Amino acid sequence: SFVIDPEGGLCYTWAALVTFAVFYNFCIVLLRIAFKEVRNELFYRMIYWPLDVISDIIYLVDILVQFRTAYRDDHGIMINTPKLLALNYCSKIPFFLDALSVFPLETTLPFTLVQPSVWFRCLRLLKWHCVLRFFVISDLRTNKPNRLRVVKLALYLGLALHWVACGYYMISEYEGLGSNSWVYPEASGEDGKKYIKSLYWSILTLTTIGETPEPSTNLEHVFTSAMFLFGIFVFAAVVGNVGDVISNMNAARTDFQTKMDYIKSYMEHHKVPEDLQNRAKRWAYYAWSRHSDALGMLPLRLRAELAIHVHLATLKKVKIFKDCDEGLLCELVLKLRPQIFSPGDYICRCGEIGREMYIINHGKVEVVVPDSTTGEKIVVASLTEGNYFGEISLLRLDEGRNRRSADVRSVGYSELLWLSQKDLMSELYSRVMHVVV
């Protein structure tokens, strides 16, 4: 059955198309609500009705696409079973937002005597989460993150100016065109001029330049005051003050994005192949999402207590440590080192010299051996959290050259803890010397 790779180019291209449709609705819906000429005149209806149909089709198809889009589970394993994909999508909030955003389908009644209200199309705005998801994916894929953020800021700013302009004209029409100096003058002239003058008022207000007429009614005072406050926020966002506040509130992500920007620039400068770039970026994002260095802020003693609490029980299950003193096991737990493997990475190969053992902290790995007759690789075991392998490598057998008896590869993203033979022997030596002394 056909399943879409969420990390592939096809999925990204479709996300871009959906984002375009969402932006179209965010721009056109309020424009039609505010300006009755755009809403009622046949000329405008001949333009926006086909676009409405196209955007509605994109919305509907997107629901089908989401039912067939694979995803990674908590272990980083790609899930592509159609039934599981459908259950996962239906259990998420975006599914309900997507379903609401396509109803009612007023485009099924074009050019009839019964014209549905344009307010119905406000439900199309519920799909804004697709825009946010698209920019998150774009930030992951792009090698020019700063340019992307500038484009995103410009789009948000333009959308805000457009909405305020439409809101100003709607209030002017409600108060009565030309009824005072604040509202839009008496209706006259071209339709485009009405929007341009309303947009001009929006720009003056949001940029806090002022020089707008004094409001007269309570509604005009409230709207103008709200727009001035909103304009201060927009201005602060443009100059970067809001960005600094957000960065301070989310310092960990900001630091990660800074490191990722450097990595992206490095790979771009050295013309690293795109496939290798994507693997490196996906690994970095997964490692960051697992908070692999989050414990670094804790003091050493507290980190040791946490490590013992989390990993001591697992280490006791290893046969060669079964009858060991708990003090020795606590010391060995502190010597465990984390390492993350990407999907398909080989952790160890058959025949190579083993010098460490591994404990699976998160994820899933497969033990693979070649068939004795055909030579084809066969999966003989699957190991998950709490399992371990390679413990025989810690023993100095065969003059210390212990050969691996099978290949072990990661199924999804796997976080393993490894203990080296050197660390084990060093700890045993120190304890023996302590007893001798």
Q: What's the CATH class of domain 322-436?
A: mainly beta
The reply to whether 322-436 shares the fold of 143-293 is no
Domain locations along the chain: 1-141, 143-293, 322-436
SS3 270: coil
Q: pLDDT of the chain along its 437 residues, tens only?
A: 688 988 888 999 999 999 999 999 999 988 888 888 887 777 877 888 888 889 999 999 999 999 999 988 888 888 888 899 999 999 999 999 999 998 766 655 554 444 556 777 888 999 999 999 999 899 888 877 777 877 888 888 889 899 999 998 888 888 888 778 888 887 655 667 888 888 888 888 887 666 677 888 888 889 888 888 888 777 777 666 455 545 555 666 777 777 888 888 878 887 888 888 888 888 777 777 765 555 555 566 666 777 777 778 777 777 778 777 778 788 888 888 888 898 889 998 888 888 888 988 888 999 999 887 887 888 989 998 888 888 887 776 655 567 888 899 999 888 898 888 888 888 777 776 666 55
253-297 tens-digit pLDDT:
777 777 888 888 878 887 888 888 888 888 777 777 765 555 555
181 vs 69, 184, 231, CA distance in Å? 55, 8, 21
Strand order in the sheet with 346-348: 346-348, 407-410, 365-370, 377-383
Angle separating helix axes 326-333 and 300-317, nearest 10 degrees:
120
CA-based nearest residue to 362, from 316, 411, 395, 324? 411
Report field, pTM of the whole predicted structure over 0.75: no
CATH T-level assignment (fold) for domain 143-293? Helix Hairpins (1.10.287)
